[in-house]
Structure 1
């Protein structure tokens, strides 16, 4: 059966099934049974002699379209796939004479991107139907006036972002990032070579001593995963509030209250922003506040929380390195109040993060994620605008081996962070100078 015949049969079956389902609600099992019945009926009426394999394949694809996520369902069911990318396809509305471009699917597996030509959409409308389903399940709209969005799939198992025309001139495009059901512990990260044993011991002690921690890195570098692993060392008696745009964090502590931002409805009302939730969380008796990712003015409120009654709070930030993380914090704090001078902003950041850490993670060329730098933040000298910091650990890349794997080693920098040492002493957490020396 060629692709054009398959597309025509699918269209006929979808139309017939949809017309029968308009009469009322049906259970998923009833819908599946109806689809299998209609597939055989339509194939017979159109004179298409299909084998049992072809009938089953056709029916299975339409069942996935109606009840699940179409061609993407096998990828969502594959635990090794961490990201799905569907590049838009269809007819160029500006020039319909151009040839049809089929949607193309790529996936990320083990940190590397690969093409999946076996995952096939019928056309651009097929991609659009999947996007519409995701948006509707999240209570959102997808049309010309709402041509982009970000939504969680039911159960929080994945986060989808999408764009459709006119924002996406090449046709609807979809990106789905999946989340593991399990939570990676620090032992798991050590097992996959994400950091050294000395770094792990030090970071765990820093969490227990309630040092403020900012985790920086690029998209998909493992910031949220590391934050979840570090949460396993928060003492059981502490109350934690998490604030996110989409609920990605998997914390390994019991006393957690989760809060999530909300976009405005179709009338432009009801929006709840990150900054409002941070302000609200301060009144809900948290011991620590964890902001999934600081992107704007909420950075100011997060720093205030770290500086006052909520030491040990943590957040993540997109940045290329620890220095860039501080630069981005300066910019975001400026969003909160345009009247703040550069000197005041630097003072606020230094006072909030002193005795704390910036932990930088990267996705390497071979797809692995590693903690590549751990930096301590020191008090700001009077009259200075340069926030003092000292690198405690660094990852030195030595090259690429014959199999394409990154070869490197972690290096303790021989600096003992005195501010963190003082916090550990007050908290009764042992401080081991050997963390910062040796091989």
Structure 2
């Protein structure tokens, strides 16, 4: 096997790999000899089929396997000896593949872009500022009011039902004058504006009063779950029994118990803790951006053009869909990348390579438990199909990498946070919110 360098410019590499016909033939004979004891063929006892007959019968397939194994072995050996790590899958082409015949040398070309050497970074020299926000009494009180509204009850009222009121009613649904299964109920409490009934139903009960009978005319959606009702016109004969207005729960010990706390003081403490956890998460995002900015300024190295180009295309594609939200598929023309896309891509590639290097040196790993949790979080977006989603992820390496990458990045970032010099600065909720908004605008 002969490997000859044909290109070495920057990060671009090119090689010609020659597998002599004699080596390929020897490898084929070796594989046939390994298989011979198990081969059965009519007219011969098991393991006694002549080598010449085996070669005639299985030679073409074995040649292909031997050729692939030899080339793969040569590539693996090259990367081990050179220390190169390809930025993307190497491009391997067989020379004269269409005219090659048994007995010829096998010649292939291999080209790739090598990952660059990543310079050392003195992480301890990095200075970062961490914004700290305390949960003020006003914020806690606002949160308690929201909890009280969520735990609202309803009390009887006089007069017509308004949006947000609850009507207690009996109803019978009919299609073509016939009541249908599941279309009737008694003493049913319906909050107007909750959108819990089919479109157009609740709006027609606004203005209804206790004791009133009302016919509600609706049309079931075309995609309705019950096929025999989908797209059908229906009439619901409703008898309004009560109209109730919403009443927020009192902020007291009883409210606290509804949310699992012993008393109001304990609920306030829980709310304050939750708020500060939210503030801390937002502050971490701001500090992470600050870290990435510092790392971006601290290093400079050549970037693989293929990675930058692929990332720029991805950025352009994502931004195009954000500007065209009505397009949900990818049946659109090619999206041109701009200088701005390329500049952002260079930053992302540079930081991605640097974080990968830091994580590798620090032996940062994503655990099975962390991956399982990430899959579970994603699966919640597909209610009723969680199992199918789990199976899909298990069989899809690319999806696994998409879930693993942000976990790995955050663990590397936390590792750097521990080494960097971090000073805390107490700020208001508004200042933190402004900093977060600036992140979203960039």
Q: Please classify the TM superposition score into its range, dividing by the shorter chain length.
A: under 0.3
Higher relative contact order (CA 8 A, sep 6+): 2
Structure 2-normalised TM-score? 0.20
Higher helix share: 2
Greater C-alpha Rg: 2
